[in-house]
Structure 1
Amino acid sequence: MEKASIHIKKAGYGDSGAILRDIDFRILEGQLIGLIGPNGAGKSTTIKSMLGLLKDVEGNIEFADGRASVAYVPEHPVLYEELTLWEHMELAAAAYGLERPVFEERAEALLAQFKLSADRHRLPVAFSKGMQQKVMLIIGFLNRPSLYIVDEPFIGLDPRATKDFLELLRKERERGAGILMSTHVLDTAERICDSFLLLSEGRIVAQGTLDEVRQESGLPDGTLFDCFHALV
């Protein structure tokens, strides 16, 4: 089942002109797509276009279960100085419309998984970068949407937190959620993603499975890292 259909003829930032051209892909149920590309390739513009954060977008973006069913985990944590971790979670739950018992059950499980139970009444603005990234992941996974858009999730995460995050991804895919994940951590992406979207200068230079990306790059036995450098 298709979770999202993205057809962007062009997108950009006003007078700066088009950053993206002819971006066309689908996200399927249970699929994890790695959005790969160098800095300035158009990854963030693709994500902003999907989230409706750009006004200069020509194309069509559809979500099977509506935009409200999409969770976005940003690269840079967005936190309120005066709110505790628990209050951040309560605010997100209210925005999602979660019933209190459902919220509390999910919140407790996520806090325990990311080892933040004892920090629930602390202010996340005082957390380390890695802990703040965990907060963003917890908030993103709280609603259990049908589609996740995750931007550079591994920045600041220690090996244990990375393992916990990957386990959550696995469970959500088994539940049927689709995932688009932008990352520069190519060795991990190669291991966990079942499809890839490689961007360069605002255009798709390869997409599909690792074997299909290898074919596009002319490296039949190449790693994702090798293919990335061959294509961009």
Structure 2
Amino acid sequence: MLKIEHLVGGYLNILVLKDISFDVNDGELVGLIGLNGAGKSTTINEIIGLLQPYQGKITIDGISLLDDKEAYRRQIGFIPETPSLYEELTLREHLDTVMMAYDVDIPASQAYLDRLLTLFRLDGKLDWFPTQFSKGMKQKVMIIAALLVKPSLLIIDEPFLGLDPLAIADLTSLLEEEKAKGTAILMSTHVLDSAEKMCDRFVILHQGKVRAQGNLEELRQIFGDADASLSDIYMALTREEGQL
């Protein structure tokens, strides 16, 4: 599980996160929701180790980055908003590199890899280079790479951007499979209709603080609207922003 305790952080002395705390339990999908600038990307960058917290603690299955950097990072599968691939490597070489870097048992994982490649219709493109891929295809490569490492924590930043409806349905099914395996999943997205259906709980960030957290029913109670959708709650945050 992911545990964030009293996290304070930001960029080059620019304070963004102001004492935030939340958990993502094993087998749970938590949606990280908030307006632009609320601190979602900063939170993700702190978790994956691109930023060093000013204060607070982040652990995955009880291990922090300071305890054991390699063991901590091996537990994370990350699907970024913007795909990042090496132009000089083919798809096959990308996947081989990921499996070697994470010490994945390649023979034991081959059937799973073949299934993912077929599911996302990339099985006939193993010798293609990233310059031949559309943005959606690049995003599918990032999804496959993140799942191949069999992470304890899967972090997904805007997973639906660039994906066609069939790929979105396939990804949704895979996330359900990951939950069933016990993977903790943190997903940041603005596609609120999908998030409302997929997520078990939500963490609402607002101006670098946790404004609210809980399942949809609990959020409705916090925001005082028994019939509110996740989109309604998001709009309530917008009104709060305008009043400050």
TM bucket, shorter chain:
over 0.9
**133-142 or 61-70: bigger deviation:** 61-70
The corresponding residue for 2:20 is 23
The question of 1:35 aligning with 2:25 is answered no
Secondary structure of the 1:144 match is: coil
Which residues of structure 2 form unaligned runs of 5+?
A: 64-71, 239-244
The question of 1:7 aligning with 2:13 is answered no
The normalised TM-score by structure 2 is: 0.91
Q: Is the 8 A contact 2:89 2:129 kept in 1?
A: yes
The corresponding residue for 1:61 is 58
For 1:179, the aligned partner's letter is I
The normalised TM-score by structure 1 is: 0.95
- Residue 56 of structure 1 and its aligned partner are, at CA, apart by 4.4
Deviations 1:200-226 (A, max 9, x none): 111111111001111111111110000
- Residue 65 of structure 1 and its aligned partner are, at CA, apart by 6.5
Q: How does 1:115-194 map to 2 (within 5 A)?
A: 115-194=121-200
The corresponding residue for 2:66 is none
Distance 1:97-1:225 versus aligned 2 partners, 3 A rule = same
Task: Tell me, in whole angstroms, the C-alpha distance in 1 between the residues paired with 2:106 and 2:122.
Answer: 20
CA RMSD of aligned residues (A): 1.2
For 1:150, the aligned partner's letter is I
Which residues of structure 1 form unaligned runs of 5+?
A: none
Task: Tell me, in whole angstroms, the C-alpha distance in 2 between the residues paired with 1:150 and 1:49.
Answer: 14
What is the aligned residue count? 229
Aligned pair partner of 1:196 in 170, 194, 202: 202
Deviations 1:104-157 (A, max 9, x none): 222211101111101111012321111111111010111121110111000000
- Residue 95 of structure 1 and its aligned partner are, at CA, apart by 0.9
Task: Tell me, in whole angstroms, the C-alpha distance in 1 between the residues paired with 2:131 and 2:16.
Answer: 33
Task: Tell me, in whole angstroms, the C-alpha distance in 1 between the residues paired with 2:206 and 2:36.
Answer: 9
Task: Tell me, in whole angstroms, the C-alpha distance in 2 between the residues paired with 1:7 and 1:212.
Answer: 21
The corresponding residue for 2:69 is none
